[in-house]
Amino acid sequence: MSRVLIIGCGALAAEITALKKANNWSGVDVQCLDAALHNRPERIAEQLEQALDKRHSDYKKIVIAYADCGTGGGVDRVAKRFGAERLPGAHCYEFFATSEVFQRLADAEPGTFYLTDFLARHFERLVIDDMKLDVHPELERMLFGHYRKVVYLAQTVDATLRSAAQAAADRLGLPLEIIDTGYGLLAPSLEEQVVTVS
């Protein structure tokens, strides 16, 4: 029996896998759900529960690598059912930036569209294609008209991703601000959960 299952958002797969490798978490398995759930938060808790129904008995501990992510407490209900812990905060932007920094950003400009490494890399697919903005360009103003800037919370220093973030901001007609967050609270939160089982 493996000690720990980290189950979470596909948008965090690269970071979770990197942390597992860097920390040599040999007794940890990782399962990620489809990152497209980012656009359908009402389905996250259901998908999470279905996945855990199949696998939870194989592990001593379950760590849910989601924040609340727009589920209105749905992730917390699933976590409680399986005796699991989830990531801190309302969403990945908050735990990457840290609560204090995110609150400061949100207070300074409520009309901010946030990107992470994953969202910068997959902006066209998850935003333009998934929301059908090329097919229905009239939706763009309705969906993005209230935004005033794009903030890219960068987990890594990567010129390709910075260019992708700039392209996303340009596509939305907004200025770009880049903040190097690294993994923020993701690393210590996962490390604490894994270490308590060692």
Query: What are the pLDDT tens digits along the chain (198 aa)?
Result: 468 999 999 999 999 999 999 999 999 999 999 998 988 999 999 999 999 999 999 999 999 999 999 999 999 999 999 999 999 989 999 999 999 999 999 999 999 999 999 999 999 999 999 888 888 888 888 889 999 999 999 999 999 999 999 999 999 999 999 999 999 999 999 999 887 765
Would you identify the CATH topology of the domain 2-90+184-195? Rossmann fold (3.40.50)
DSSP state of 176: E
Which whole-number Å values give the CA distances from 7 to 86, 94, 138, 159, in the listed order?
A: 10, 19, 37, 29
End-to-end Cα spacing for the chain: 13
Per the CB < 8 A criterion, the answer to whether 132 and 124 are in contact is: no
Domain edges within the chain: 2-90+184-195, 99-180
Using CA atoms, how far apart are residues 60 and 115, in angstroms rounded to an integer?
Answer: 34
Query: Which residues, 6+ apart, have CB-to-CB distance to 75 below 8 Å?
Result: 44, 45, 48, 64, 66, 67, 68, 69, 86
Q: Which two tokens stand for residue 137?
A: 């360009």
Strand order in the sheet with 59-65: 28-33, 2-9, 59-65, 85-86
pLDDT for residue 197:
62
| The model's pTM | 0.90
